[in-house]
Amino acid sequence: NAGVTQTPKFQVLKTGQSMTLQCAQDMNHNSMYWYRQDPGMGLRLIYYSASEGTTDKGEVPNGYNVSRLNKREFSLRLESAAPSQTSVYFCASSFVRGQGHQPQHFGDGTRLSIL
Amino acid sequence: QKEVEQNSGPLSVPEGAIASLNCTYSDRGSQSFFWYRQYSGKSPELIMSIYSNGDKEDGRFTAQLNKASQYVSLLIRDSQPSDSATYLCAVATGGSYIPTFGRGTSLIVHP
């Protein structure tokens, strides 16, 4: 049981390049999330997908796009990378229904540097 | 604006002592509460979930929830150097898909 799998684990880009971060979960969770974590800033939500077929903006969506490909997969795309997007990116998933929240499970993260 | 507040620390305790980590939240409608541990350079991992008032124990860890006072705490008994990490508190409200995370408390357990 792999849980939440993120690829790649490390990436270095030049300003203006594009790339897609991949995330897949095998826990049959309905909700998936993308966060970035910077020193002293805690986890900040970029985008989330409450269920297959839906996506919504989080706290810091500018410069990013997402695709919920199916129930298992949720990708994050940087169309034109900027140095301010240098960060550690975490994908997470959970089961949320009605009033009930199960805890989030996190992937190992992607360490992204934009030069 | 939902807020979750944690003392950033560092909280320093000697090995074998009890470490007490606290978290307050602003949304009275919050129903689900989680503690995560994050080692430096690693991803957050779930330690405890708590949904009702009172204490919940799991090994050396005890989560305490007081909804009237809007705080949740995590006690770590017999602290070990391996417990040194940042502890994140997260709070979720029914009807919202987005939990709110605190910025975390850094715990240092020294031998």
The amino acid occupying position A53 is: G
Q: Can you tell me the distance from the alpha carbon of B19 to that of B55, in angstroms, rounded to the nearest whole number? A: 16
H/E stretch holding A67 reads strand A64-68
B95 touches chain A (CB under 8 A): yes
* pLDDT tens digits along B33-44: 999 999 999 999
Contact B49 A100 (CB under 8 A): no
* pLDDT tens digits along B78-105: 999 999 999 999 999 887 889 999 999 9
Contact B34 A104 (CB under 8 A): yes
Contact B97 A109 (CB under 8 A): no
B92 touches chain A (CB under 8 A): yes
Q: How far is A55 from chain B (nearest CA, A)?
A: 11
Asked if residues A47 and A54 have their Cβ atoms less than 8 Å apart, the reply is no
For B61-80, what is the mean pLDDT? Answer: 97
Percent of chain A with pLDDT over 90: 88
Query: In this predicted structure, what is the pLDDT of residue A1?
Result: 62
Contact B43 A107 (CB under 8 A): yes
DSSP B97: S
For A84-111, what is the mean pLDDT? Answer: 92
H/E stretch holding B36 reads strand B30-38
A106 touches chain B (CB under 8 A): yes
The amino acid occupying position B55 is: D
A41 touches chain B (CB under 8 A): yes
Mutate to test the interface with B, among A43, A49, A99 (most CBs of B within 10 A): A43
A50 touches chain B (CB under 8 A): yes
Mean pLDDT of chain B: 95
Distances (CA, A) of A98 to A25, A84, B29, B95: 21, 36, 14, 6
Among candidates B94, B97, B101 on the partner chain, residue whose Cβ is nearest the Cβ of A43:
B101
Query: In this predicted structure, what is the pLDDT of residue A86?
Result: 97
Q: Report how many helices (DSSP H) and strands (DSSP E) chain A contains, helices first.
A: 0, 13
Q: Can you tell me the distance from the alpha carbon of B92 to that of B4, in angstroms, rounded to the nearest whole number? A: 10
* pLDDT tens digits along A44-89: 999 999 999 999 999 999 999 999 999 999 999 999 999 999 999 9
Q: How far is B31 from chain A (nearest CA, A)?
A: 8
* pLDDT tens digits along B18-28: 999 999 999 99
Query: In this predicted structure, what is the pLDDT of residue A71?
Result: 96
More confident site: A11 or A97: A11
Q: Can you tell me the distance from the alpha carbon of A23 to that of A76, in angstroms, rounded to the nearest whole number? A: 8
